[in-house]
A and B are shown apart, each in its own frame.
Chain A
């Protein structure tokens, strides 16, 4: 709770202002600049991941066609595109944007601090992340092309170039993922330490905005789960390049070992990206409903409960992988139990709307869409967590549609909610609300038209990672091909509407209305300083906190909001 920075140091911060462009924007230790670096790098990688999706969806809808801007898709290119689409969207889009960009930008501003406690570790974290992205991009251009063994990288396929036929691509992919983990371990240490130590005067643990709690819990989950996978990745690297046989059954290894190490990380990872998005939504909803967040402590404890439970469910990804069949019962029970805290969080969000005065500005539309769409992802997960039903659904498009209904709300809807909400604080100008709404509907409607057909195809037995379904008589029916075309056309429409967003950003940066300090009449501390905040964030006076963050429409007060820093 103590302030970590002395006034003298803060004066020094003021002097740093007169730095050159390279020092200021490329090698900055300012948390806001690092946040922007993560945000823009994440979004650029998002465009690459989206382009990959466009290419392989075109191949699926129109097998063998010459895809515009790419060409004919070969089977190994197809495998590489799907593998890297998944890896990019999770490791180089969802994590950098939701955790690193929002975490870096918001943590010091929302707790009333001038920067992270370890600014140089923060800079190192981004630099390693940037290198990891370069290594991944390089892997597409080596002999044999990029890795194509799916983002789960199961050995022996991933461990042996004779099977994968990507001798360099597989290794570069693995190195890139490992570097990305290093970046987020460094970032996580910083986030947790900063939140614990740098809170301004008066900010107790129940006065912390929910989005920060979620980012911190996510960082802890990541740090606690990634260790086994890093060990696994080292063994996989040695199998690939040194000739060891950790995963080679002909020499005493075991391919299932990797699956356990991978999913012990891989399932908590879902919550690593889910929780920050849920936090963003929890912070936006009260502002636009002018309503106190329902049951703050319940949300906090259910989030922690979800995090703990998420360590016990990993083998539901491996029901039919050859594990002891009796194990499936245990993991079915733990998996269905995790529906309890998640359902509770959804109930709380719905209850927050009750009795509100709801304004449907663009950020609120995104926040509401998150809840509406994530519910679909949540309920369809039950089919997959129930072992008996998973025998049929495993590795079908039903699984794919299910996790896109979780990851799309998380990585895309959550990001747009956060960006449209904090844009005025980040850049000092308002975004255009009409363009924002056009972009919103142009994203949400096609999104559903992509993935609802894929649920149907999955239920009809269409299995994953197949580059041409005409090889399967039962999957080559005309109505199935029509649904594939519908999904692909919807994807192209959705991607086209993203241009509206980028146009809106550019126009708003140049001509947008000045935002002022607190355009949304919000309570949390980031809205008490200038937009954009100066270096050092709060000038020479740190704010003091007098109350929890969501005191909207309080009966004792005329105004319908009550900023945390006002004495009364």
Chain B
């Protein structure tokens, strides 16, 4: 459903889409059924002169069945949705696969700073590459992101990954993603963070191994941008 509008780029994007589809089918069924019966009754039982309405209390067992059976079926649907939701949530947020690469993502009013490891492949060394509003990652690689905020709440949101996580000042929140396609897409800040919230967008560049190596090489000549590293606080 979601892929009509937003590409599915991460390994877990399809899981989220399928869960949304499952919920859509289950609640869609109930929604259409309820509205159909509802409008059906309005048409069928509209006022006709001289015809009295029926007297139904709804307190007898045979009448209550019309409520209690659908209500049990709704409960069954809920169980399916809960199971699906828990599985997807576990995959994305609770489970943390081994990292092949790690990036630091720092939100501050009103820009993102992305700290990439340099040639040595490690963060917090002299050759780190810190860029404002540009995140470069290699496709088919499991990344950990270390999410921080310098001031207020922000939210690191990458719609094509189906990923969102609040950045909370005073904490470092670790999560993961693995991009499956090369290309460039939007990164949003999805938590209101003040006057500049509307302009706090960034771009993510998912690159092939060659492209990514070229990116690292081209940024290794320049001196590291010390201002932006979180360890400099």
Contact = CB atoms under 8 A, between A and B. Distances in A.
Co-complex (A, B): yes
Given A249-B170, A357-B47, A463 B157 contact: yes
B78 A388 contact: no
B70 to A, nearest CB: 6
A48 interface: no
A473 B191 CA distance: 19
B85 A386 contact: yes
B85 A298 contact: no
A497 B96 CA distance: 54
Interface in A335-371: 336-337, 339-340, 343-344, 346-348, 350-360, 368, 371
A395 B191 contact: yes
A392 B2 contact: yes
Interface in B45-63: 45-48, 51-59, 63
Contacts of B63: 294-295, 351
A163 B190 contact: no
Interface string A289-321: 111111111100000000000000000000111
Interface stretch (A488-496, A522-530, A548-556): A548-556
A459 interface: yes
Nearest to B38: A350
B1 interface: yes
A254 B169 CA distance: 9
Given A249-B169, A325-B89, A395-B155, A355 B192 contact: no
A563 interface: no
B56 A320 contact: no
Given A355-B53, A357-B51, A460 B194 contact: no
Contact of A463 (B67, B89, B190): B190
Interface string B51-90: 1111111110001101100110011001001101111110
Given A328-B89, A391-B163, A165 B195 contact: yes
B6 A329 contact: no
B35 A392 contact: no
Contacts of A357: 45-48, 51-53
A92 B19 CA distance: 38
Interface string B77-120: 01001101111110011100000000000000100000000000
Nearest to B109: A163
Given A325-B93, A332-B86, A471-B199, A256 B56 contact: no
A506 interface: no
B53 A320 contact: no
B197 interface: yes
Interface stretch (B23-31, B135-143, B214-222): B23-31
A472 B201 contact: yes
Given A156-B151, A473-B186, A553-B54, A348 B67 contact: yes
B122 interface: no
B170 A336 contact: no
B165 A156 contact: no
A411 B144 CA distance: 45
A289 B56 CA distance: 12
Contact of B164 (A150, A351, A392): A392
B48 A348 contact: no
B232 interface: no
Given A383-B23, A387-B86, A76 B5 contact: no
A448 interface: no
Interface string B175-194: 00000000001101011111
B2 A322 contact: no
Interface string B147-162: 0000111010101001
Interface residues of A, number: 97
Contact of A322 (B24, B94, B166): B166
Interface stretch (A105-113, A236-244, A372-380, A532-540): A372-380
Nearest to A254: B170
Contacts of A250: 169-170
| Most-contacted residue by chain A among B56, B84, B193 (CB, 10 A) | B56
A154 B154 CA distance: 11
Contacts of A343: 30, 70-71, 74
B38 A156 contact: no
A555 B55 contact: yes
A474 B166 contact: no
Given A368-B42, A389-B85, A392-B164, A326 B94 contact: yes
B168 interface: yes
A468 B31 CA distance: 34
Given A149-B192, A472-B186, 8 more contacts: A149-B194, A295-B59, A339-B74, A357-B45, A357-B52, A372-B35, A388-B19, A560-B53
Closest 3 CB pairs of A and B: A249-B170, A388-B88, A355-B54
Interface of A: 75-76, 78-79, 148-150, 154-157, 163-165, 249-250, 254-256, 289-298, 319-322, 325-326, 328-329, 332-333, 336-337, 339-340, 343-344, 346-348, 350-360, 368, 371-372, 375-376, 379-380, 382-383, 386-389, 391-392, 394-396, 456, 459-461, 463-468, 471-475, 552-555, 560
Interface of B: 1-2, 5-6, 15-16, 19-20, 23-24, 26-28, 30-31, 34-35, 37-39, 41-42, 45-48, 51-59, 63-64, 66-67, 70-71, 74-75, 78, 81-82, 84-89, 92-94, 109, 151-153, 155, 157, 159, 162-166, 168-171, 173, 185-186, 188, 190-199, 201, 203
